[in-house]
Amino acid sequence: MASRGIRDRVCIVGMGCIPFGEHWDRSTEDMLLDAATATLTSAGVTLDDIDAYWLGTAASGISGLTLSRALRIGDKPVTRLENMCATGSEALRNASYAVASGAYDVVMAIGVEKLKDSGYSGLTRMSIPSDGTGWIMGDTTPPANFSLLAPAYAQKYGVDADELKDVMARIAWKNHQNGAKNPLAQFRKAVAKEAICASPLVAGNLGVFDCSGVADGAAAAIVVRAEDAHRYTDRPLYVKGLSFVAGKAAGSMDPDYDFTTFPEVVRSAEDAYAQAGVTDPRAQIAMAEVHDCFTPTELVLMEDLGFAERGFGWKEVLAGTFDLDGDLPVNPDGGLKAFGHPIGASGLRMMYECWLQLRGEAPPDRRITTVDRGKTLALTHNLGGQPGECVSFVSVVGSEPTA
């Protein structure tokens, strides 16, 4: 038994991403059509060229009809899937495997979410009949669930509470700095650290600026066999590794879990690195788009993904390691924090930034320097759930086939 992976067997040859934000005047169908059209244009193909579709949406539609109706696709397979906040990445993973299997030549993975039609703050959850004991994701909100990370981390590693607040603010500040340079981002303004620290509390010590943006959006990718990739583009992205882990949800009932790590992320990262042949992620990876749903999440992810030693992630954050001009830029597009987080679209939005940066297409003021220094790999990380019980996705993509 092994996770063999599909390194270099499929490529992304076209991507599109619409601006994320409060699209009061655009429907789910509008966003799907706009993202799909941009993606088809990017790859130089038409709907007729696509053999099959994977649609990721957490709660903005059901069944493949959500996409086929919007695009008037006829007589093609459309799979709708959901895997909480990693839904968009799941669409890409399954689409990639379909091509690698030989079942299809050209497929599209597309993710969409319409959050701003609900009228509520934050995310809402599916209504599943239950016994009312909160077993299915509990009574608490996502910011409350993730806020448990901060005090646990501070206590375990002896970080002063005020210092940790500075670390969290540094992460929010960085991602807003990056988002300010991104015309597609929901929030395109830099925010001062003082304003971040002074923002009203949402849960625990998380202020409004420690939370990702609630946005509408859509993004898509076209995947083909690697040997066909150059028919579509001179600079395809090679899929190096795709890993997905659904945890056994032990953290909510096992006293040994201490809220300073996501074991699911550790395992999915190990798996993805093995598939991709990555042995030193900190040194080999040019950039990472990670699931910064809340600022302490990004901090913990730096350690879980192997970008920083255990207990030292906070120092690396303060040192600027993950800044746009740092050794390992993290969330150069602004992340969930500034780009916004339409659930089903986020995983593909992350990949869109890899697509731009590894191909040298990011605008100059947001362009990372690690690519120029010869690094060719990028990572996306997408998770759903909460500390203690979550799903985690890690991908590694690269601009060059493995020698």
Partner 1 sequence: MVDNDGLLATEGGSDLAGIVAYGAYVPYHRLKRSEIAAVLGEGGGRGARAVASYDEDATSMGVEAARAALRRVPAGPVPERIFFATANPPYLDKTNAAVIHAALDLPPSALAVDFGGAVRSGVGALLAAADSRVPTLAVLSDLRTGLPGGGDEKEGGDAAAAFLFGGDDAVLAELIAVGATTDEFLDRWRTPGAPAGRVWEERFGEHVYGPLADAAFADALKQAGLSPGDVDHLVVAGLPARAVRRFAGGAGVRPEALADDLTGAIGNAATAQPGVLLADVLDRAEPGRTIAVVVLADGATVLVFRATAALAERRSQPSVAAQIAAGGDGLRYATFLTWRGLLNREPPRRPDPDAPAAPPSHRTGRYKFGFVGGRCDSCGAVHLPPVRVCVKCGAIDRMTDVPMADAVGTVATFTVDRLAFTPSPPMVAAVINFPGGGRFRCQLTDVDPATVAIGDRVEMTFRRMLTAGNGVHNYFWKARPVRGEEA
Written as one string, the DSSP assignment of 300-340 is HHHHHTTSS-TTTHHHHHHHTTTSTTSSS-B-TT-HHHHH-
Angstrom CA distances, 252 to 136, 137, 202, 386, 393, stand at: 11, 10, 22, 10, 21
Tell the smallest beta-carbon distance from residue 245 to partner 1 (Å).
16
Tell me how far, at minimum, the Cβ of 7 lies from partner 1, in Å. 31
Distance CA 87, CA 381 (A): 12
Q: Which tokens belong to 118?
A: 């609900």
Contact by Cβ (8 Å): 54, 107:
yes
List of residues contacting partner 1 (CB under 8 A): 118-122, 124, 127, 129-135, 138-141, 143-145, 147-148, 151-152, 155, 201-204, 248-250, 252-255, 257, 259
Identify which of residues 2 and 253 has a Cβ nearer to partner 1 in the complex: 253
Instruction: Report the nearest approach of partner 1 to the CB of residue 162 (Å).
Output: 17
Q: Which residues contact 180 (CB under 8 A, 6 or more apart)?
A: 187, 188, 189, 190, 334, 338
- Of 253 and 403, the one with the shorter C-beta distance to partner 1 is 253
Query: How far is the C-alpha of 35 from the C-alpha of 114, rounded, in Å?
Result: 13
| Shortest spacing between CB 140 and partner 1, in angstroms | 5
Q: How far is CA 264 from the centre of its chain?
A: 15
Please give the Cα distance from 332 to 45 (Å, whole number).
Answer: 29
Residue among 65 and 250 whose Cβ is closer to partner 1: 250
Positions annotated as catalytic residues are: 85, 341
Distance CA 296, CA 150 (A): 6
CA–CA dist 313, 305 (Å, integer): 11
**Residue 102 vs 255, nearer CB to partner 1:** 255
Is the Cβ of residue 298 or residue 389 nearer to partner 1 in the bound state?
Answer: 389
Please, what is the minimum distance in Å from the beta carbon of residue 391 to partner 1? 16
